[in-house]
Structure 1
Amino acid sequence: MKKKFKLSFAFLAFAICSTASAEMAFPIPAIPQLDAESYILIDAKSGEILAQYNAEQQRDPASLTKMMTSYVIGQALQSGRIKNDDMVVVSKDAWATGNPVLKGSSLMFLEVGKTVSVANLNKGIIIQSGNDACIAMAEHVAGSQGAFVNLMNEYAKKIGLEHTHFETVHGLDAPGQYTTAKDMAFLGRALIRDLPNEYAIYKEKEFTYNLSKPQLNRNGLLWDTTLNVDGIKTGHTNAAGYNLVASAVDGNTRLISAVLGGRTFKGREEESKKLLVWGFRFFETANPVKADSALVNQTIWYGDQNKVPLGSLEGAYVSVPKGRAADVQVQYTIDNYIYAPIAKGTSVGKIQFLLDGKVINEQSLVTLQDVQESGFFGTICDWIVLQFNKLFG
């Protein structure tokens, strides 16, 4: 069940910065100014936005599109619809010499009529940013590029990308194709969360196919020894500028940055690093409620058991100033009486997270197991007790 965080980072920052300076190691400085058209920094676990500028400005995605191509492929692999050792026949459309659209773009250098494994094509998409590999995989997964694009847009809706629409499988500029820095960051979050096997490919630094020399991953931050970056994707066209979605881990905290409309190839890396360094230096991720761990056992009426455990199915994560994770307090409210039958994951109330007495975030309080309805006599007994409870309790 998806968490619904309702409070903005601006409120979080206000709540935190309004406390006495003695309660903090040091204040949180202003968000760094970047040389880019739009950018965002999010906490991958909590989903909270830590910094943003023009984050919902409509932009050309360029090869960031391949993150969604990869997401669709990862879902197909995870569901068993395709397998890594499937062999794909390269069509004329996936052959650079036969498709003028691909001329001068990034390629895996596929040859028409040859067969290539899904595993190699997937690496060609992620590591080499091969536009030809995208076409070959789109045809293998969905039968045509058009059908695959439809899948991309369907998944975009499911993930909650409200300002993104795809027209191509590879990201070369096309009318009607657009995204935002915010949507790309949250697409990266979905990729990391939903498809760990697929995401593991993003940290690979090179891949060799059909060339004497290996092609290097275009995400230069993978070589940065001061950050533990393990993805995600670069992109560039004349219309888009230089784009980079990057993710790094420090302890229990994973951050995702998205920088769109950067000025130069290296500049997008430098600006992304500024965001990530700022985020790790001043924030960390708290985990005050563990996954499937009962926060409370609450009375349930008409059920085949008297109590139902309530908590969070996936665990609760909250972004807090560095060094304050242990200070997060938890409180909860229950909306009403709880009745059986009820399914695991049903929202019955609210969990709130407090720092220095102020609510900094909240999410749904849900049932942690199914509870079936009791038999006839159990229902009658519960009804009688419930009436007394409502009258006198």
Structure 2
Amino acid sequence: MIIYLLQIKKLIFYIIFILFYINYCNAFDLNNISNPTVVPKIHANTYILIDFHSNKVLAEMNADVQHYPASLVKIMTSYIIGQAIESGRISTEDIVLIEEEAWAIHNPILKGSSLMFLKHGDLVSVDQLNKGIILQSGNDACIAIANYIAGNQNIFVNMMNEYAKVLNLKNTFFKNVHGLDSPGQFSSARDMALLGRALIKDLPNQYAIYKEKEFTYNRIRQINRNRLLWDNNINVDGIKTGHTNLSGYNLVASATKEEMRLISVILGSSSLKECENDTKNLLKWGFRSFKTLMPIESDKEITSQPVWFGDVKKVKLGSDKNIHFTIPYYRIKDFNIQFSLEEKKLCAPLKKYQKVGIISLCLNEEVIEKYPLVVLNEIKFGSFMSRFLDYILYFLYNWLN
């Protein structure tokens, strides 16, 4: 009898354990272990993480809230310098005469701020001033090169705001060239991410300077203020730090892993260490949780379709640009590409890159993004005889259908 009762208790125990395990699995959902919706704890109230290639937002909080940008303003200053160099308006070898306005001793605004330590009357190359802005965050260098490019700071600031419109920075307005707190000067995490992306995309030579760790001017060794460049656990190669009393600690950073590049923005941290740690955690989470694919390459055929009345019988279709798609790792198996034509039948003539349909990037049957499906090879009219035969076949096809 005792043995029988023990067996009953053991059976009840196993039943309870199995029911508990089933409920546990349902609650935990093993398929969602790597679900990227769970963003790591970020102490700042304003941040964003985007993929460089696809421009997809992976995480954000209050990304459009206006914020004092501090020295992040210098990313735009640097962008304009890079554009001026690329266009040939100025050269890195140009020599700039330093005026009193860029000398901290005679400009009270600059006292106590980050400096390249320029002196009135110095002759400094554009290359040195550029590095003084990017690495040392020199406010004096910003004034010197703004005056050189535009004639005065006000005109240069107008240029900054014009570029902000071109780059669609909707929550950004600049009041000075260096980023010291000024009423009415603001930006946002999203805008700074877009600006950083434009810098990397449009001006690769300018951006290459951002990973340099130090340079020397006037026998003064000046260290890059972005300390994440020394962190071996994550491959950061830019972009910019910024701090004022009103702004707090800010950091725009970009890092790569294999073919993937991410851009993060943290605004208003309470300490530099907290800002750096949040940046690293956000970037590592992004690389761990997402994968950026390039499922469609520019000018590469993804399908071919019959064409009527042409000098060839089939037309190659694809995209006129590289298409990137950022996807959570746990959804990769659901990814597929679909396409549709605007017309059931394609007829010559067809111009190269003429839009004839839609490419749909899907997760299972859900359409996530759409792009134009275009003609990759121009199709001209065929000979009179081939067009005549096609006309007969075309007529019969329509009549039968």
TM-score range, shorter chain: 0.7 to 0.9
> Could you say which residue in structure 1 is the equivalent of 2:215?
207
Offset of 1:36 from its aligned partner? 0.9
Q: Is the aligned partner of 1:159 residue 2:159?
A: no
Offset of 1:231 from its aligned partner? 0.6
Match of 2:289 among 282, 296, 302: 282
Q: Is the aligned partner of 1:123 residue 2:115?
A: no
Distance 1:239 1:315, change over 3 A: same
For 1:211 and 1:273, how far apart are their aligned partners in 2?
Answer: 33
For 1:88 and 1:382, how far apart are their aligned partners in 2?
Answer: 73
Distance 1:129 1:347, change over 3 A: farther
Offset of 1:92 from its aligned partner? 2.0
1:61-140 alignment, distance < 5 Å:
61-140=69-148
> Could you say which residue in structure 2 is the equivalent of 1:217?
224
Distance 1:323 1:383, change over 3 A: same
What secondary structure is seen at the aligned counterpart in 1 of 2:101? coil
Q: Is the aligned partner of 1:262 residue 2:249?
A: no
> Could you say which residue in structure 1 is the equivalent of 2:35?
27
1:329-348 alignment, distance < 5 Å:
329-336=336-343, 342=351, 344=353, 347-348=355-356
> Could you say which residue in structure 1 is the equivalent of 2:154?
146
Offset of 1:350 from its aligned partner? 2.6
Distance 1:272 1:298, change over 3 A: same
Distance 1:354 1:389, change over 3 A: farther
Offset of 1:121 from its aligned partner? 0.9
Distance 1:111 1:27, change over 3 A: same
The code of the aligned residue for 2:101 comes to: D
Distance 1:49 1:375, change over 3 A: same
> Could you say which residue in structure 2 is the equivalent of 1:15?
none
Offset of 1:291 from its aligned partner? 2.6
Relative to its length, the structure with more helix (as a share) is 2
CA RMSD of aligned residues (A): 3.2
For 2:239 and 2:89, how far apart are their aligned partners in 1?
Answer: 25
State whether residues 310 and 368 of structure 1, in contact with CA within 8 Å, keep that contact through their aligned partners in structure 2: yes
The code of the aligned residue for 1:224 comes to: D
Distance 1:90 1:355, change over 3 A: same
State whether residues 285 and 325 of structure 1, in contact with CA within 8 Å, keep that contact through their aligned partners in structure 2: no
What secondary structure is seen at the aligned counterpart in 2 of 1:174? coil
The code of the aligned residue for 1:69 comes to: T
Offset of 1:172 from its aligned partner? 1.3
Distance 1:99 1:28, change over 3 A: same
> Could you say which residue in structure 1 is the equivalent of 2:195?
187
For 1:321 and 1:278, how far apart are their aligned partners in 2?
Answer: 11
Distance 1:308 1:168, change over 3 A: farther
State whether residues 34 and 329 of structure 2, in contact with CA within 8 Å, keep that contact through their aligned partners in structure 1: no
Distance 1:340 1:50, change over 3 A: same
For 1:97 and 1:300, how far apart are their aligned partners in 2?
Answer: 74
Offset of 1:41 from its aligned partner? 0.6
Q: Is the aligned partner of 1:316 residue 2:323?
A: yes
Distance 1:348 1:219, change over 3 A: farther
State whether residues 185 and 245 of structure 1, in contact with CA within 8 Å, keep that contact through their aligned partners in structure 2: yes
Between stretches 229-238 and 302-311, larger displacement belongs to 302-311
Distance 1:113 1:362, change over 3 A: same
What secondary structure is seen at the aligned counterpart in 2 of 1:193? helix
For 2:312 and 2:380, how far apart are their aligned partners in 1?
Answer: 9
Offset of 1:324 from its aligned partner? 5.7
Partner deviation per Cα, 1:322-352 (whole Å, 9 max, x = no partner) = 37657632112233568767564x6543321
State whether residues 162 and 183 of structure 1, in contact with CA within 8 Å, keep that contact through their aligned partners in structure 2: yes
Offset of 1:362 from its aligned partner? 2.8
TM-score normalised over the length of structure 1: 0.83
What secondary structure is seen at the aligned counterpart in 1 of 2:42? coil
Offset of 1:40 from its aligned partner? 0.5
> Could you say which residue in structure 2 is the equivalent of 1:9?
none
What secondary structure is seen at the aligned counterpart in 2 of 1:314? coil
State whether residues 35 and 330 of structure 2, in contact with CA within 8 Å, keep that contact through their aligned partners in structure 1: no
Between stretches 319-328 and 152-161, larger displacement belongs to 319-328
State whether residues 69 and 179 of structure 2, in contact with CA within 8 Å, keep that contact through their aligned partners in structure 1: yes
For 1:81 and 1:389, how far apart are their aligned partners in 2?
Answer: 64
What secondary structure is seen at the aligned counterpart in 2 of 1:78? helix
Between stretches 36-45 and 326-335, larger displacement belongs to 326-335
What secondary structure is seen at the aligned counterpart in 2 of 1:45? coil
Which blocks of at least 5 consecutive residues in structure 1 are unaligned?
1-19
> Could you say which residue in structure 2 is the equivalent of 1:10?
none
State whether residues 338 and 348 of structure 1, in contact with CA within 8 Å, keep that contact through their aligned partners in structure 2: no
State whether residues 215 and 222 of structure 2, in contact with CA within 8 Å, keep that contact through their aligned partners in structure 1: yes
The code of the aligned residue for 2:270 comes to: R
Distance 1:270 1:294, change over 3 A: same
Q: Which has the larger radius of gyration?
A: 2
TM-score normalised over the length of structure 2: 0.82
> Could you say which residue in structure 2 is the equivalent of 1:7?
none
The code of the aligned residue for 2:250 comes to: N
Aligned residue-pair number: 371
> Could you say which residue in structure 2 is the equivalent of 1:253?
260
State whether residues 284 and 323 of structure 1, in contact with CA within 8 Å, keep that contact through their aligned partners in structure 2: no
Partner deviation per Cα, 1:196-239 (whole Å, 9 max, x = no partner) = 11111111111221243x22111111111110010110111112
Between stretches 100-109 and 57-66, larger displacement belongs to 100-109
